[in-house]
């Protein structure tokens, strides 16, 4: 009697069943969902821009937001050494203003985390108006009286947060929103500005901006890539793929057992 062979011919083509293809497709989809999310946020840390009131009159700290060799904003000192004030504003026409309150449009307002900085702003917030070739310089820190123009400043005992920064600003770290031109593109960003009223120093500690033109960014967004959660359809496909794979394996095992028993 002729012995039966346990081998079977291989099907032409890919050699994969429909169920196998579904399983592989589901696996590929899961791999796609594990890829990091694409971001267009440029985050800058470790390159602070700082200026002290102890500097001489006219001392300037330039802030090149996008590191293209052109200063966009600046801090500069006016007044005699150890007295006077530090102003903050655009260095040239590239710096296009800071977010401020609608009731005092040339001032600056501290912003909360997740605040959306972009072409349009939330109610009661506006982009500060400009003059000359740039945008209005604002007094960030001063040594003069605790009140100026009837508006109480914050800080002390020796130095004060400037009256142009008195809306929700506190000693230490605060968030501000800014916009600037990079080439012909208007870009939007946020910065952490620190007021050291003990030593009389203003520092732009870190910042981030969206490098896609006319696209908003949220305060404190560093663009850190995160794995997105799969959508419901994706989870359904993954489930179908897993179930199909189990069924295919069961049928394969049954066929092997039948061949051995023959």
Q: Any residues with CB less than 8 A from the CB of 235 and at least 6 apart, and which?
A: none
The model carries a pTM of 0.68
DSSP 188-218: EEEEEEEEETTTTEEEEEEEEEE-STT--EE
pLDDT at 159: 84
pLDDT at 195: 96
pLDDT at 260: 65
pLDDT at 241: 56
Per-residue pLDDT of the chain (262 residues; tens, 9 = 90+): 444 444 334 344 445 554 454 444 444 444 434 444 455 999 999 999 999 999 999 999 999 999 999 999 999 998 888 888 899 988 777 888 899 998 877 789 999 999 999 999 999 999 975 444 445 678 899 885 444 444 445 554 478 898 888 789 999 999 999 999 999 999 999 999 999 988 999 999 999 999 999 999 999 999 985 444 454 544 444 455 556 657 667 776 677 666 666 6
pLDDT at 207: 98
Q: Any residues with CB less than 8 A from the CB of 121 and at least 6 apart, and which?
A: 99, 127, 177
First to last CA, the chain: 13
Q: 81 and 57 in contact (C-beta within 8 Å)?
A: yes
- The DSSP symbol for 109 reads B
CB atoms within 10 A of CB 27: 15
- Give all strands of the β-sheet with 125-127 in edge-to-edge order: 41-52, 201-210, 185-196, 172-182, 95-101, 125-127
pLDDT at 129: 59
Burial degree of 182 (CB within 10 A; 0-12, 13-18, 19+): middle
pLDDT at 179: 94
């Amino acid at each position: 009697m002729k012995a039966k062979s346990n081998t079977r011919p291989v099907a032409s083509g890919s050699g994969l069943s429909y169920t196998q293809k579904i399983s592989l497709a589901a696996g590929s989809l899961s791999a796609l969902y594990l890829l990091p999310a694409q971001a267009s946020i440029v985050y800058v840390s470790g390159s602070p821009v700082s200026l002290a009131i102890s500097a001489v009159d006219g001392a300037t700290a330039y802030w090149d937001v996008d590191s293209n060799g052109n200063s966009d904003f600046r801090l500069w000192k006016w007044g005699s050494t150890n007295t006077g004030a530090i102003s903050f504003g655009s260095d040239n026409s590239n710096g296009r203003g800071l977010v401020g309150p609608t009731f005092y449009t040339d001032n600056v307002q501290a912003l909360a985390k997740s605040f959306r900085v972009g072409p349009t702003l939330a109610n009661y917030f506006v982009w500060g108006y400009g003059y000359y070739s740039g945008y209005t310089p604002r007094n960030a820190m001063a040594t003069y009286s605790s009140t100026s123009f009837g508006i109480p400043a914050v800080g002390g005992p020796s130095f004060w947060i400037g009256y142009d920064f008195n809306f929700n600003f506190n000693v230490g770290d605060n968030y501000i929103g800014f916009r600037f031109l990079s080439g012909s593109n208007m870009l939007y960003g946020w910065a952490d500005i620190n007021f050291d009223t003990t030593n009389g120093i203003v520092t732009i500690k870190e910042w981030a901006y969206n490098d896609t033109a006319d696209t908003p960014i949220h305060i404190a967004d560093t663009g850190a890539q995160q794995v997105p959660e799969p959508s419901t359809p994706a989870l359904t496909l993954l489930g179908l793929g897993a179930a199909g794979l189990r069924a295919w394996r069961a049928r394969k095992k049954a066929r092997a057992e039948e061949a051995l028993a023959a």
